[in-house]
Chains A and B, each alone.
Chain A
């Protein structure tokens, strides 16, 4: 059974239609990559799933439950976490606080103002473990706005995976990284998303073919092909629309 299914999904901004009828099912535990040329609507698709935008038409279901009209925080509480293409963190809070904040709701703290965070040993230990995982344990006390770009990307990823969400959406997780940094990031993503369902938008084809076990190609708001990496590589329509160039580059 699909953990996430999109049916007839459409999104327009005024007269401009960005997503033009997307049908897609994501299986539990699948690592799914969405590729496509610039402006194809990949990020918009993420914004629709995570609740930043409301769909103009169509349905999104997560584990059989409709996400229609739910605000982002409610969608997140159901078990969908995401990262952003442009780094989106809490710049004045320390790296430690960023991760701890991401752990608060999933750990059941809600809006409580009668519990002191410093005394919550379990929560702080868990925060430390996430920091170890993403390799930022040594940077814990520095304001998140002051660490290096690649570290901020790791933090961004850490915030997405900290809460133990079942479905994780990563929007260009290695964008702007050097080759060696990107290699490390791929290792990291593989490690932290183990046993979870992952959907990612990515431009770098090496990374896509390395991480994904299924790929969907989005062109002008429509999925023109969806299948295993080998099928996508072989698909003539995809090559024509998009891949050929990128593959010869790689």
Chain B
């Protein structure tokens, strides 16, 4: 009963946060970030149906996102020319159906095997569709892309969709429903067998399941929700180009899911939020955004293989034993020098990339030709790295103490 209440509370909280966000941050910029996040959340969660839950490493998931988006834009155009009468609210459904159909087609031959074979086929399909998008200009609009106008549909609850805020509330509905359905899918026979096939496809065969069919169903579901995300994208930007279905977009959704954490349902949501925020906050200040993204990804793979969600969940034991507070100081003592190292390193990168003689960055004025600037940054980075290394043993001891079973700590205290 308590678990049930917690579950309802969690979903209620999720919906409340989604609904309240634009009340707290109501600038146009903030709404535009929230819309991007909403799209990214659905897209990243759909990707995790493949990789995290089904063990299928796809390099072409943007295909289903993009195709869904393109079809949605075309429906918007038809509405504009009054060729069809359709509700704006259901545009993401058009995207979802497109994603489903594309998923049925591609899944019919690509889900035979997982592993390298699946990954290579997904790469091939991704390349093929991206190339086609520049060839079949009638549908994809070539390099110029296709644009539509979302304001021609009948108003919905008084919303005419001139503003991004209207789009946001529609997106919240779709994000919430999609998240809920993707979560519930994991609790069904098909969803649970997807985990089983991920773990051991051979064993699944010997308990009556065709590993291929199990993968196929997950693949179609993932395509559907990627299409929904694409439909939301079409509504938000009213504009799609070949970039929305190419390998860059496919790669980015992989990064989101991975950085967030593949093994947790909430992981891709965290990843989508982090990457969208990073994109907005950093791309205005630096041209090296992609470099930082790459470094973040490599560091995640090396040090947080279970992603940010995994990092948070690591603290569960310490939290349950009421010893989380013991970690605060060691974290601070390691975190601050690490921050110094990171900021110095970032400044070094920016300075070596600077086109102006004087770089204004993080409140510092750094001269490109001054030895002092370079020396100061190198010193900062070195000091940061040294202090980080010095403080990690202490952090490790604190970590072990916080996670140690009750009895051992008791004995240690006694001695």
Using a CB–CB cutoff of 8 Å, the interface residues on chain A facing chain B are: 50-52, 71-73, 76-77, 81-82, 84, 88-93, 97, 100-102, 104-106, 109-118, 159, 163
Contacts and interface: CB of A to CB of B under 8 A. Distances in A.
Contact of B206 (A72, A93, A100, A110): A72
Contacts of B191: 113
Interface of B: 184-185, 187-193, 195-196, 198-200, 202-210, 213-214, 217, 221
A82 B221 contact: no
A163 B207 contact: yes
Given A89-B200, A90-B195, A93-B199, A115 B189 contact: yes
A101 B193 contact: yes
Contact of B205 (A71, A110, A115, A117): A71
Contact of A88 (B188, B200, B209): B200
Chain B interface, DSSP helix/strand/loop, else mixed:
helix
A113 B206 contact: no
A20 B191 CA distance: 42
Given A73-B210, A76-B207, A101-B207, A113 B192 contact: no
Nearest to B55: A92
B190 A76 contact: no
Contact of B208 (A88, A90, A115, A163): A163
Given A111-B190, A113-B190, A115-B188, A105 B209 contact: yes
A93 B196 contact: yes
A105 B207 contact: yes
Nearest to B194: A113
A1 to B, nearest CB: 25
Contacts, number: 98
A180 B230 CA distance: 60
Given A90-B203, A106-B208, A113 B188 contact: yes
A88 B203 contact: yes
B189 A73 contact: no
A111 B205 contact: no
Nearest to B199: A90
A104 B202 CA distance: 16
A91 B199 contact: yes
24 contacts: A72-B205, A73-B210, A76-B207, A77-B208, A81-B206, A82-B206, A84-B203, A92-B195, A93-B195, A97-B195, A101-B196, A102-B207, A104-B189, A104-B192, A104-B207, A105-B209, A109-B189, A111-B193, A111-B213, A111-B217, A112-B189, A113-B217, A115-B189, A116-B187
Contacts of B202: 52, 72, 88
A74 to B, nearest CB: 8
Contacts of A90: 195-196, 199-200, 203-204
Given A109-B189, A114-B188, A116-B184, A73 B209 contact: yes
A114 B185 CA distance: 8
Given A76-B208, A106-B208, 20 more contacts: A72-B202, A73-B204, A81-B207, A82-B206, A84-B203, A88-B203, A92-B199, A101-B192, A101-B193, A101-B207, A104-B189, A104-B209, A111-B193, A111-B213, A112-B190, A113-B188, A113-B189, A113-B217, A117-B189, A163-B208
A71 B206 CA distance: 9
Contacts of A113: 185, 188-191, 217, 221
Contacts of A163: 207-208
A105 B207 CA distance: 7
Interface centre among A82, A84, A104 (most CB of B within 10 A): A104
